[in-house]
C-alpha cells in the first residue's frame, strides 16, 4: 500500500482558522510542526497554515536518518537537543513513529574514502560523540551480508531513524489535541503589516491576526520572502528514493557507501537511494541565485546534474508579485510531488546487485522523489528579519532538516518568544547573504 502523501491524499487537518493567535507558523513540515510544538509547550497560542498536506513535501519523502554524525559545528547544539527531543516527543505520542537508535555507518571502499570518513572523527571526539572507525573484520559482524568490498567505515551507534511518512503527521495529531489549530489547503498568501510590524497573515481562507509569524515553508521560503521584499538565495534539487518489500535484515541502522544509501525500515523493508543522484531543474531562480551557489556547485559537481527539459519555459517565466487578494503560486502547486528519476531507480538496482547480494533482487515496491531545498552554504536560515518586527524565517535545511527538526523547532520557539537560546545561531543569520560575508560551506559527508 502506498505511504505517499500528495495532493490526492485526504485532508486530515481542517481546523477553521482562528481570528487571532499569538503566532502563525507557515508550513507543516518537520520544522513548522516542531516550532508549533515548542511554542505550544510554552503556553503560546499557535495556528499552523499548510498550503497542501501536513508533511506532504520533504518531511515525508526523506530517508528518515536522524544523525549527529557529519554536522556543521554551528548545528551541534541543536542537533544534540534534537536527538533528545525526538525521544521525548515520541514518548508523548499515541502512535509508533519507528524511532530507533541503530546507528549510522559511512562505508569506505578504498583508503582515500576511508581517510575522508576519518576526518570527521576529531569533531565527533570534541563533542563526546560515540563515533568510531571500524575495520573490515568488525564490519563483517555489523553487516550480515557480503561486506568484503568495504575496507572500513565510520560508525556512530547512537544515531537514529524514524519513519518520515508516520512521524510528522503523528506529531501534528498530538499537537492538534493540545489545541493548536492546523489547517491544510490553507496557503498563506502574504503578511498583514501594520505600522511596519507584523499584524497577521492573509491566507486563502481569510486573515489571522497575530504578533509573530514564522515562515517554515521549506522550498517555498525564498518565494514567500521575496514577494515581501526579503529575498535570499535558495534552490531545489530532486532526489529519488525507493522502498522495498520486506527483506532479510542485514543491518538494523542507516548506511551509506559512495554509490548507495540504505536504511532498514520499521516495516522490515529498506529505504534506498543511489549516491550522487541530485538533479537541479534549471529555471529563473537558477539564474537569479547562481553566483553565491558557485562554490557549492563546484564542490558537489560529481553528485548532481542540471536538467533543462520538463517545462523549462514555465520555469523561466517571471512570476508577477502578488497581494493578499490574488491566487498565489502556493495554491497553484499544493504539494511538490516530482516524478522519481528512472535513471536513479536503475542505479539503485545496479548498486544493490554490486554491493548487497542478499538484496540484489528484492522488489522495489514504491518509488518517489522530493525537492530538497538548499542554501548556498548548506546550512539553514534561522533568524528574525531586520526591519520587519515579528517576522521570522526557518528554512533552507539543505538535505538534513529531518533529524535536526525538533532541535530547530525548540530554538525558533525561543527566538520568537525572546527567550535565551542557550547557544549562538549567528551562522544561520539571514544577513549573511547580503552583508558581504564570505560564505563558508557546511560539511558534506
Q: Is 397 in the site for ligand FAD (CB under 6 A)?
A: yes
Fill in the DSSP letter of residue 20: B
SS (H, E, C) 148-209: CCCCEEEEECCCEECCHHHHHHHHHHHHHHCCCEEECCCCEEEEEEECCEEEEEEECCEEEE
Alpha-carbon Rg of the chain, whole angstroms?
Answer: 21
Q: Is 82 in the site for ligand FAD (CB under 6 A)?
A: no
User: Which of 9, 62, 212, 244 is in the footprint of ligand FAD by CB under 6 A?
Assistant: 62
Segment 267 to 286, residues that bind ligand FAD, using CB under 6 A: none
Q: In whole angstroms, give the CA distance from residue 204 to residue 189.
A: 7
Q: Is 224 in the site for ligand FAD (CB under 6 A)?
A: yes
Segment 199 to 218, residues that bind ligand FAD, using CB under 6 A: 216-218
Phi-psi region of 124 (alpha: psi -120 to 50; beta: other; left: phi over 0): alpha
C-alpha cell at 48: 499552523
User: Which of 169, 403, 406, 442 is in the footprint of ligand FAD by CB under 6 A?
Assistant: 403
Piece of the chain touching ligand FAD by CB under 6 A; list 21-29, 120-128, 206-214, 311-319 = 21-29
How many residues touch ligand FAD under the rule CB under 6 A: the total is 40
Cross-strand pairs, 278:
304
Q: Is 63 in the site for ligand FAD (CB under 6 A)?
A: yes
The answer to whether 47 touches 24, Cβ cutoff 8 Å, is yes
User: Which of 68, 69, 71, 400 is in the footprint of ligand FAD by CB under 6 A?
Assistant: 400
Calculate the alpha carbon distances from 152 to 125, 130, 140 in Å: 19, 16, 10
Q: In whole angstroms, give the CA distance from residue 291 to residue 74.
A: 24
Piece of the chain touching ligand FAD by CB under 6 A; list 24-32, 90-98, 127-135, 227-235 = 24-32
H or E element: which one contains 294? helix 284-299
Q: Is 220 in the site for ligand FAD (CB under 6 A)?
A: yes
What is the smallest separation between the CB atom of 223 and ligand FAD, expressed in angstroms?
7
Piece of the chain touching ligand FAD by CB under 6 A; list 63-71, 205-213, 301-309, 347-355 = 63-71
Piece of the chain touching ligand FAD by CB under 6 A; list 48-56, 77-85, 108-116, 418-426 = 48-56
User: Which of 37, 262, 402, 433 is in the footprint of ligand FAD by CB under 6 A?
Assistant: 402
**What sign does the CA torsion over 321, 323, 325, 330 have?**
positive
What is the smallest separation between the CB atom of 397 and ligand FAD, expressed in angstroms?
3
Nearer to ligand FAD (CB atom), residue 138 or residue 326: 326
User: Which of 25, 37, 39, 51 is in the footprint of ligand FAD by CB under 6 A?
Assistant: 51
Q: Provide the mask over 28-47, with x wherever binding to ligand FAD is found by CB under 6 A and - wherever it is not.
A: xxxxx---------------
Q: In whole angstroms, give the CA distance from residue 233 to residue 221.
A: 10
Q: In whole angstroms, give the CA distance from residue 153 to residue 150.
A: 8
Calculate the alpha carbon distances from 297 to 54, 123, 430 in Å: 31, 25, 21
Q: Is 198 in the site for ligand FAD (CB under 6 A)?
A: no
| Cβ count near 441 (within 10 Å) | 15
Residues that bind ligand FAD (CB under 6 A): 26-32, 49-52, 56-59, 61-65, 187-188, 216-220, 224, 239, 241, 330, 370, 372, 395, 397, 399-403
Amino acid at each position: 500500500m502506498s505511504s505517499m502523501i500528495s495532493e490526492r491524499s485526504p485532508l486530515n487537518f481542517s481546523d477553521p482558522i482562528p481570528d487571532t493567535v499569538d503566532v502563525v507558523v507557515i508550513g507543516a513540515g518537520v520544522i513548522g510542526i516542531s516550532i508549533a510544538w515548542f511554542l505550544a509547550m510554552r503556553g503560546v497560542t499557535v495556528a499552523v497554515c499548510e498550503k497542501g498536506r501536513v508533511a506532504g513535501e520533504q518531511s515525508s519523502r526523506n530517508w528518515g536518518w536522524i544523525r549527529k554524525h557529519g554536522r556543521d559545528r554551528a548545528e551541534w547544539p541543536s542537533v544534540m537537543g534534537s536527538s533528545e527531543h525526538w525521544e521525548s516527543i515520541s514518548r508523548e505520542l499515541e502512535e509508533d513513529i519507528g524511532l530507533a537508535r541503530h546507528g549510522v555507518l559511512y562505508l569506505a571502499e578504498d583508503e582515500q574514502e576511508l581517510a575522508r570518513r576519518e576526518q570527521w572523527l576529531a569533531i565527533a571526539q570534541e563533542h563526546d560523540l560515540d563515533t568510531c572507525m571500524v575495520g573490515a573484520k568488525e564490519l563483517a559482524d555489523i553487516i550480515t551480508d557480503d561486506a568484503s568490498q568495504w575496507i572500513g567505515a565510520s560508525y556512530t551507534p547512537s544515531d537514529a531513524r524514524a519513519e518520515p511518512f508516520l512521524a510528522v503527521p503523528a506529531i501534528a495529531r498530538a499537537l492538534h489535541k493540545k489545541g493548536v489549530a492546523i489547517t491544510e489547503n490553507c496557503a498563506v498568501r502574504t503578511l498583514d503589516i501594520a505600522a511596519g510590524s507584523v499584524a497577521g497573515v492573509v491566507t486563502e481562507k481569510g486573515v489571522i491576526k497575530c504578533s509573530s509569524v514564522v515562515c517554515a515553508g521549506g522550498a517555498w521560503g525564498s518565494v514567500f520572502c521575496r514577494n515581501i521584499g526579503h529575498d535570499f538565495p535558495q534552490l531545489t534539487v530532486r532526489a529519488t528514493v525507493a522502498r522495498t518489500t520486506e527483506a532479510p535484515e542485514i543491518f538494523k541502522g542507516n548506511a551509506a557507501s559512495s554509490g548507495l544509501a540504505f536504511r532498514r525500515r520499521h516495516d522490515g523493508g529498506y529505504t534506498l537511494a543511489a549516491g550522487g543522484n541530485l538533479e537541479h531543474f534549471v529555471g529563473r531562480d537558477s539564474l537569479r541565485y547562481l553566483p553565491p551557489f558557485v562554490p557549492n556547485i563546484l564542490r558537489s559537481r560529481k553528485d548532481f546534474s542540471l536538467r533543462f527539459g520538463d517545462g523549462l519555459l514555465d520555469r523561466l517565466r517571471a512570476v508577477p508579485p502578488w497581494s493578499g487578494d490574488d491566487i498565489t503560486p502556493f495554491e497553484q502547486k499544493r504539494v511538490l510531488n516530482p516524478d522519481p528519476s528512472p535513471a536513479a531507480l536503475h542505479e539503485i538496482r545496479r548498486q544493490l546487485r554490486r554491493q548487497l547480494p542478499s538484496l540484489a533482487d528484492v522488489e522495489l515496491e514504491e518509488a518517489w522523489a522530493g525537492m530538497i531545498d538548499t542554501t548556498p552554504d548548506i546550512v539553514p536560515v534561522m533568524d528574525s528579519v531586520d526591519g520587519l518586527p515579528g517576522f521570522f524565517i526557518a528554512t533552507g535545511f539543505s538535505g538534513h532538516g529531518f533529524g535536526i527538526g525538533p532541535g530547530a523547532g525548540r530554538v525558533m520557539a525561543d527566538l520568537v518568544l525572546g527567550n535565551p537560546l542557550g547557544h549562538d545561531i549567528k551562522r544561520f543569520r539571514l544577513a549573511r547573504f547580503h552583508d558581504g560575508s564570505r560564505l563558508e560551506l557546511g560539511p558534506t559527508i
